[in-house]
Amino acid sequence: MLLLEKTEFPREKVCGDGLTPRAVRQLVRMGVDTSEKAGWLHNKGLRVIGGGVRLELDWPDLASFPNYGLVRTRLDFDDMLARRAVEAGALLRTGVNVTGPVLDDEGRAIGVSAKVGPGKEPVEYRAPLVVAADGVSGKIPLAMGLAKRDDRPIGVAVRRYYNSPVRADDDYLESWLELRSAVSGDLLPGYGWIFGLGDGRVNVGLGILNSSDAFGKTNYRSLLTDWLAGTPEEWGMRGEENADGPILGAALPMGFNRVPHYTRGMMLVGDSGGMVNPMNGEGIAYAMESGELAAEVAVQALARPAGADRERALRAYPTELSLRFGGYYRLGGVFVKLIGNPQIMRLATKHGMPHPTLMRFVLKLLANLTDPRGGDAMDRIINGLTKVAPAV
């Protein structure tokens, strides 16, 4: 397997750096040491602040997922994953800017074209199967005619690092629900976060969904600094003095907003296929899950001769993705539309937050953490909803 990376490792990437138990499970499946000795900061759950209530919700105890989350910067995280791939036999090439697919006479992807090195020398790489993991830009699928769907949710997130020893070591991921439009004062569909990194710094950011009228009209960087201006002074997040780097932003492609996930010799994984969870903005877990599934399908398909038999095996990939996440993402689309209404957002925050049992249900739903078999009543309700919801 040939792994092509545009930049050099380690490299920065815009992210909240917080991992739910769903992402932790994928790391464990990969054989990654997630102990604190290995540089991970563990957390017990999610602290939610809103409606005048501060609530700490532990991650659920489930057979299918670990009961802890993690924090680690993408600077280290992506580098670690790349090294794991090399250990597993992948050939890593960095400084390779993939520019598009190489197509045969029938329009099937048989490799990629790229520019390499300081001189940007043109190169072609040929392969029996192309896996597009090129993120929200989707350069390869776009060249294959796969545009983003406008009927699926999308979000925008901005984040910044701050030196804040007071908040750097935290047993919980922290989520603030009351973000308000600077224009109307209405609650916005999204949340702010403060994730301690355990090294004297915090990752602070916010994410907003496109179901609000304020989407695209809001200066998200100003919204972030305005929100932080209201935090306690001792946290050190009110100005530039303790900032560690600029405010950076990125789009969050959600709910399978680019399909099909396999076509003409090309598979889409992660953000390239719009796999961010509409409920909570989490993308890492679904990128790793789709990558694992793509690898399993590819191994089986490439063991067959090229032609109809191999294509039949490759088509199992989008089918399985739809079975796993299609109904859940459909629910996510409904959720996004509901909280886009400021009145519903206000009522949900005011009346939901004071009820811990309800909020534990909401945590399971939003983080997609249930046992598929033998779970409790909450699990059965959530699993039932995802089964009856039509797949996206």
Question: Which pLDDT score, from 0 to 100, does residue 318 have?
Answer: 98
* Mean pLDDT across the chain: 94
Contact 350, 219 (CB under 8 A): no
Map residue 38 onto helix, strand or coil: helix
Pairing of strands 172-176, 45-50: parallel
Rounded CA-CA distance 361/381 in Å is 10
Question: Which pLDDT score, from 0 to 100, does residue 186 have?
Answer: 78
Pairing of strands 266-268, 130-132: parallel
Question: Which pLDDT score, from 0 to 100, does residue 392 have?
Answer: 75
The pLDDT tens digits of the residues spanning 45-97 come to 999 999 889 999 999 999 999 999 999 999 999 999 999 999 999 999 999 99
Q: Say which residues have a Cβ less than 8 Å from residue 279's Cβ, sequence separation at least 6.
A: 331, 332, 335, 365, 366, 367, 368
Q: Say which residues have a Cβ less than 8 Å from residue 239's Cβ, sequence separation at least 6.
A: none
Question: Which pLDDT score, from 0 to 100, does residue 53 have?
Answer: 93
Rounded CA-CA distance 254/273 in Å is 9
CB atoms within 10 A of CB 132: 27
DSSP state of 146: -
Question: Which pLDDT score, from 0 to 100, does residue 351 have?
Answer: 86
Query: Which contiguous run of DSSP H or E holds residue 386?
Result: helix 377-388
Question: Is the pLDDT confidence value at 187 over 90?
Answer: no
Q: Write down the pTM of the prediction.
A: 0.95
Strand partners, 208: 156, 190
Rounded CA-CA distance 144/263 in Å is 9
Q: Which residue has the higher pLDDT, 282 or 392?
A: 282
Q: Say which residues have a Cβ less than 8 Å from residue 170's Cβ, sequence separation at least 6.
A: 43, 194, 195, 196
Question: Which pLDDT score, from 0 to 100, does residue 182 have?
Answer: 67
